[in-house]
Amino acid sequence: MRIIDFHNHFYPKVYLDAVRKGPSAVRVTMDDAGNPWIHSPGDINIIVPGHRDIEYREKVLNDHGIDTQVLTFTSPGVDIETPKFAVRMSSQVNDSLASMVRAKKGRFTALATLPLNDPKGAVPELRRAMEKLGMRGAMLFSNVNGRALADQAYWPMYEVANELGAVLYIHPTYPLAVEAMSEYWLMPLVGFLFDTTLAAARLIFAGVVERFPRITWVLAHLGGAIPYLAERLDRGFRAFKDCRVNIARPPSEYLKQFYYDTVNFDPRAIELAIAFAGADHILAGSDYPHQIGSLELMLSSIRSLQITEADRANILGGNTARLLKL
């Protein structure tokens, strides 16, 4: 049974070197163990060996029986930097990830990062990443310095994604009203999930998903609250004229076509998502090697699901293999 971890993160050396050197919107310090700490507005990311050492990571995967990982960059990303820095660094990060994929021959694949704070610059980089580097799509942050992914500034990017049949993976970043989440790690614990939910709902109601039907959408962290709130979105569609202007069908009909990763390690929550979207739209994910992630919990939560063995095999790897043509 092939096991593929869809949701995990890597910081290439080229990025860490660039933000250390500066100028950058983030501040980098080092701890006593030699780990960089990236300080950004409302957040701290501790860059442990699994984040930055591909050989170390491969050993960890061997220890856990993970066959393949889908490498993605993550917050703070490049969008909080200047557009010039973002365009340059996106290209260098993508080149670095692609070189690791080639070198490791099947152990890894990757999704691109894009300079979303320069919507025009994101278009050629998406095309380059897919056509030249062989990536199947890109990871998008749930908002871009407060700008919604549904904003028409991104529609040229979606036109290219639609043309190429891209997989677009929405991962949260600093949510709106982040200043209310400064204590108790509420930003990643709560804010991330609701920002993903908000991004998905706006993409639906704005008509982006209907307008660009060849894009395949994936939501991080089991879709935030989407499986739980989809019925309420449908009620909004029926109750409010504004919710019907850009779409012809209730939101849940579009959202059931999305894919959802399993970075919510409560088996009952995963079973709710399966009941909503089907076992064929659920992707194993660990959030490795973040402090809040776990390869062990990814595996144990999926193995405890009350589902058929065929569905379990697809969630553990078959669905991602099909989606990314691995």
Break the chain down into helix, strand, coil percent, rounded to 5.
Answer: 50, 15, 35
**More confident: 38 or 40:** 38
196 contacts 170 by C-beta, under 8 angstroms: yes
Summarize pLDDT for 43-100 with one digit per residue, the tens.
Answer: 889 999 999 999 999 999 999 999 999 999 999 999 999 999 999 999 999 999 999 9
Residue 317: pLDDT band with limits 50, 70, 90? very high
Handedness of CA 147, 116, 16, 85 (dihedral sign): negative
Instruction: Tell me what pLDDT residue 183 has.
Output: 87
Summarize pLDDT for 164-209 with one digit per residue, the tens.
Answer: 999 999 999 988 888 888 888 888 899 899 999 999 999 999 999 9
282 contacts 218 by C-beta, under 8 angstroms: no
Lowest mean pLDDT among 2-6, 154-158, 181-185: 181-185
Residue 1: pLDDT band with limits 50, 70, 90? confident
Instruction: Give the integer Cα–Cα distance in Å for 202 and 143.
Output: 11
Mean pLDDT of all residues in 251-276: 98
Instruction: Tell me what pLDDT residue 278 has.
Output: 98
138 contacts 114 by C-beta, under 8 angstroms: yes
Which pair of tokens denotes residue 95? 């080149």
Instruction: Give the integer Cα–Cα distance in Å for 308 and 326.
Output: 23
Instruction: Give the integer Cα–Cα distance in Å for 281 and 322.
Output: 11
Which pair of tokens denotes residue 24? 């950058």
Which pair of tokens denotes residue 202? 């706006």
> Mean of the per-residue pLDDT values for the chain?
96
Instruction: Tell me what pLDDT residue 187 has.
Output: 87
224 contacts 196 by C-beta, under 8 angstroms: yes
Beta partners for residue 167, in sequence order: 137, 216
Domains of the chain listed by start with CATH number: 4-323 (3.20.20.140)
Instruction: Tell me what pLDDT residue 185 has.
Output: 85
